[in-house]
Chains A and B, each alone.
Chain A
């Protein structure tokens, strides 16, 4: 997702990014579709070709909150129609 995001923000086509980065266009497409994952070094190269960089630093890991996860799972088990109706009902109460 990062590569696609960087490319779109740089307003480049996959062909233009291929030319700038020296990477194969089909490979860029595969990275963007998450079919394969580039190495960190390659990822930085491609992002830099788009004019961006990765600011890698350690941050504290926050495990998912169990109650939030339970609510999310419940929501995901609903259909879009049920989700909308539940939201409208929640607004009323």
Chain B
């Protein structure tokens, strides 16, 4: 089965929730949940770097059979040192761990404006705000981020409609 076919964000996020990992969903999936209409193959998270939450994240990664691009199992405390992010393969798809997304001060910064969004199957992950997504994309200044940034900026301009979407009743 191709890596793309394995993408199951519900399993990925449910595993993080089951282990009570403190994190905020960022990146393309975060933007999708905010309404960008993109398509993505992975979950990007900004985790709390509190030791207990990192321990829980380690347990969740074990459950997900997380491994590094070279196929070796991940050891968080070792593999995150000196790296801005960790890209992992898991049995439920790609998982990117970004402790301090560019332009932010990490989890404690993002969670202040993040919201718990009901996505079904009883899951309510914290999702970074539209403003914070724009902030992260604008700092990165990568060519591939131009279109997502333009979309997110337009979402900010259409703000009232975003609010309506996020506040509608949800079938969980």
User: Footprint of B on A, CB under 8 Å?
Assistant: 1, 4-5, 8-9, 11, 64, 68-69, 71-73, 75-81, 83-85, 87-88, 90-91
Contact = CB atoms under 8 A, between A and B. Distances in A.
Interface string B23-48: 00000000011111111110000000
Contact of A72 (B35, B139, B166, B170): B35
Contacts of B170: 79-81
Chain A residues touching B, majority SS: helix
A5 B103 contact: yes
Contacts of A76: 35, 155, 158, 161-162, 164-165
Nearest to B172: A81
A79 to B, nearest CB: 5
Contacts of B151: 68, 72
A73 B138 CA distance: 22
B148 to A, nearest CB: 12
B78 interface: no
25 contacts: A1-B131, A4-B135, A5-B135, A8-B103, A8-B104, A8-B109, A9-B103, A68-B151, A68-B154, A69-B154, A73-B161, A75-B35, A75-B165, A76-B165, A77-B161, A80-B34, A80-B118, A80-B170, A81-B119, A81-B120, A84-B33, A84-B119, A87-B37, A87-B40, A88-B9
B143 interface: no
Interface residues of B, number: 41
A55 to B, nearest CB: 12
A5 B104 CA distance: 8
Contacts of B165: 75-80
A75 B32 CA distance: 9
Given A8-B104, A81-B118, A72 B154 contact: yes
B135 A75 contact: no
Given A77-B164, A77-B165, A84-B33, A72 B171 contact: no
Given A73-B161, A76-B158, A76-B161, A87 B120 contact: no
